[in-house]
Amino acid sequence: MKTFKLGELFAGAGGLAWGAVHAECARGGKIIHAWANDCDPSTCATYIKNICPDAPDTVICCDVRDLNLDALEEIDALAFGFPCNDFSVVGKRRGLLSANGGEAKSKILEGFRDAGYKIFPHLYKFEEYGVPQTRHRIIVVGIRNGIEKSFRPPSPAPYSGKNISSQHALECPPIPPDAANHERTKHSPDVVERLKYIKPGQNAFNADIPPELQLHVKSATLSNVYRRLAPDKPSYTVTGSGGDFFIGADDFD
């Protein structure tokens, strides 16, 4: 079986790598991990556990600007998911498509072309592919000039009708009590009372909450603050802030 070596920048905990090394190639072949880079030690440790427990030295933990590319093994493919903070709806941007009046997207795509690649950008809506989360991301596939191949986004049709509700994702199968990093949050009495007034799909700023329990914050009205999931719909985009979300409001600690 032909193998293709994968290198990664901004590797994170291994999400892209996990999908790549477990992908089934229609014409045979397999993607294998070669090396990865990230700047956060805990993230690198997680990547090693998820992707390459027998080759920890292949994960280089450093600022990408300090990475010695000449010392790395040659690869067949490069994957990178650079931080999306500047383009996130949580921050001041509306998304990569419209950031800086569209200039950011044009600059990035121009860089790919200048580097010698045919590029195939596409906005993927993950909930259309069976993921119980409304996470929308632009993924750019590049094929080096001179390789007579093209790329088409995969059809979401095979996932049509799949149950991707947040309740189904969390309860089928249920999360075991001893799951790692799954400790229940200890809420104050005021928070418990506030949550009781929030209906499915609402948050602390659009729910009918008594004045004494309302959040009197003028500078921030983020949609995921005290947000309650709608059990029959996919989750909203889960952020890296570790904020709480919940389905029911009947049982709090």
CATH number, domain containing residue 72: 3.40.50.150
Q: Is 70 helix (H, G, I), strand (E, B) or coil?
A: helix
* CB of 134 closer than 8 Å to CB of 237: yes
pLDDT (tens digit per residue) in 118-156: 999 999 999 999 999 998 888 999 999 999 999 999 999
Looking at the structure, do residues 104 and 183 belong to the same domain, yes or no?
no
Each residue's pLDDT tens digit, 51-99: 999 999 999 999 999 999 999 999 999 999 876 655 555 444 457 666 6
Same domain, 35 and 148: yes
Query: Is the entire prediction scored with pTM above 0.85?
Result: no
| Whether residues 8 and 105 fall in one domain | yes
Residues 105 and 211 occupy one common structural domain:
no
Q: In total, how many domains does the chain have?
A: 2
How far, in Å, CA of 122 to CA of 15, rounded?
19
Active-site option among 44, 62, 84, 172: 84
Domain boundary residue, one of 94, 126, 159: 159
What is the sign of the dihedral through the CA atoms of 121, 84, 92 and 39? negative
Do 205 and 220 share a domain, yes or no? yes
Question: Do 106 and 48 sit in the same domain of this protein?
Answer: yes
Residues 136 and 242 in one domain: no
Residues 149 and 34 in one domain: yes
- Determine the structural domain holding residue 172 and report its residue range: 165-253
Residues 241 and 209 in one domain: yes
62 is catalytic: no
Q: Which of 109, 124, 159 is the last residue of a domain?
A: 159
Residue 64, Cβ neighbours under 10 Å: how many?
15
9-64 pLDDT, tens per residue?
999 999 999 999 998 776 778 999 999 999 999 999 999 999 999 999 999 999 99
Query: Cα separation of 209 and 204, whole Å?
Result: 8
End residue of a domain, out of 159, 190, 214: 159
